Structure 1
């Protein structure tokens, strides 16, 4: 029986994005193992789970212990295929594979390189060097946006580079709602029926840049409401900023939301101020929910949003440009509704049932 190993920096990554693929391997008669760091989560689709001591800082001693642990697992189980996710885990997984006598086929899924053309030279050089160091151990590299694909092919970051439409989104989790249900959801969250609701579901971190949106809120009409579901290190700082700007009554901080369907249903527009993305799930989900998108003109967003058709793009960090785009939506309700319908249509290729067969075919090609 062939055996596949999935690795990632955190168990939550496997739990949220890859369980359908574990099930697909089982259906084909494979045994499935998973090795991850962070807080443990149940992964019932895995035949065996191994805790790996990954730490966020690349040079942390624990990461080299993680590499040794992964090497031991590969030597013991003699995997046919290793599929690695997230930059940190991918680096140490491939280092481990390099020192195994019977090296398995290795697939690296790049969910979005943490660099682009605007990244400071030193930081970009370090990150690119890590990818180039492990390129020889990457039999197949799967990228998710045009920038990463072009870069990976130019610098030969894998023996073979293929682009995929993300990992697929299960849109069945986001059913359509009636106008009456939409109003009821708004009442539940204390939102007026005539409010224009902007939605940005993201971790509160420097890269996600919620502060840009908050700084733009005083430029927008009083009936514009910003909802910011999520948790993270900068949550309290953003709460204070909203109060300092005098918009605390128009910004909602719901915290972590396991079920986002109700928020998509009550919103009028999805927004993002992120510095960079791979191929963001929150934007694809919002598009499926017929929401126009106003997002930063960065990789990942530029792959999904067609300016003037499914939404608008604005320069990273430019709150005034963001506010201007929202004003355009407010001024033309019929056009805004048409953008939402176009967004829903544009999201269809990213549906899980379409994407999973494509990705599985590529996974299996690495061992054929």
Structure 2
């Protein structure tokens, strides 16, 4: 019986983004194993075996070298036909493990959820990251990327042995993020203690340097000072900088305009009460938070970086601002705030564009890519 292994830095990543793929390979008769840092759950749907591997969140950790040797033993013992790798850190150390076991599976697929470098990254970091990709190229049969900039990077540096594919992300279940009527929107707002007159921005992201929430706090401060007193910013998520930014928000005097919800799985209701989805990120792969907001029918105002540029068509379903440009961001928010017809039309366009990124559209394509490549490698 054929065997496939899915690997990511955390098992939560596999559970959140790849469960439909585990199910599909199960249906096709594969034995499905998953590997990653354990989460709180004892099982993952459609996984025949869970292999807990405690990846360290540091590319230079000695523990990850030890983990690579552990992975090599598992791969040698299990004799996988296909290994599907996700997330940058897991991708490198898993491929290192494959190299160490001297027993390569028939097909190794590296799905890039966003290279951690681009032409704006410092020379040293970019060089190290590229070196890691080039070093493991010898056992990387195919690369699948999610945005055009990562496609150009992989093609320019030939970071794969055989094939390179560009996909529309892993797909979102649009039925989980439906649009609602204005009346329902107001009803949900009342439950969350927001008024009909509030102009609400939403950002769902881990609190990290890359996600750049501090920029949004500075921007809200400017908008409030420009007399948009009814503006609210919902920040969903947790992470390293959460408490620091709560303090910073209080220091700016905007604590009534910024709501930190903490981590929540119920993102849908927050999208439903929002007027605009925003993102200040430094870089992305193809962000689920933007696609979810598009499915709901929200305009998007996001930084002009990879990942965002594939999802947002300027002046059609939102605006792209130069990274860290507060004035430009604030001007775009004011433009939407002052034009309800524009807000409605952009939201409608978001829903239309999101169909291209639905699980229904994306999943069959990715399954076909992997299965056809596997057959060609037999």
Same fold (TM over 0.5): yes
CA distance in 1, matches of 2:97, 2:373: 18
Alignment of 1:314-353 (within 5 A): 314-353=321-360
Deviation at 1:198, TM superposition (A): 0.4
1:220-271 per-position Cα deviation (integer Å, ceiling 9, x unaligned): 2011111111111111111112111121111111111102111111110000
Equivalent position SS for 2:22: helix
| Number of the residue aligned with 1:175 | 178
| Number of the residue aligned with 2:209 | 206
Alignment of 1:100-249 (within 5 A): 100-104=101-105, 105-159=107-161, 160-220=163-223, 221-249=228-256
1:129-148 per-position Cα deviation (integer Å, ceiling 9, x unaligned): 10111111110100000000
RMSD of aligned alpha carbons: 1.1
Equivalent position SS for 1:254: strand
Matched, 1:16 2:40: no
| Number of the residue aligned with 1:276 | 283
| Number of the residue aligned with 1:4 | 4
Matched, 1:354 2:327: no
CA distance in 2, matches of 1:183, 1:85: 39
CA distance in 2, matches of 1:83, 1:40: 23
Q: How high is the TM-score relative to the length of structure 2?
A: 0.95
Matched, 1:78 2:85: no
Contact 1:11 1:40 in 2 (8 A): no
CA distance in 2, matches of 1:366, 1:97: 19
Equivalent position SS for 2:374: coil
CA distance in 1, matches of 2:277, 2:362: 23
Unpaired segments ≥5 residues, structure 1: none
1:314-347 per-position Cα deviation (integer Å, ceiling 9, x unaligned): 1111122111110111121111210110111011
Equivalent position SS for 2:44: coil
Contact 2:69 2:100 in 1 (8 A): no
Deviation at 1:64, TM superposition (A): 1.5
Deviation at 1:117, TM superposition (A): 1.1
Aligned length: 368
Equivalent position SS for 1:249: coil
Deviation at 1:40, TM superposition (A): 4.8
Contact 1:213 1:322 in 2 (8 A): no
Alignment of 1:26-41 (within 5 A): 26-41=26-41
Q: How high is the TM-score relative to the length of structure 1?
A: 0.98
Contact 2:236 2:263 in 1 (8 A): yes
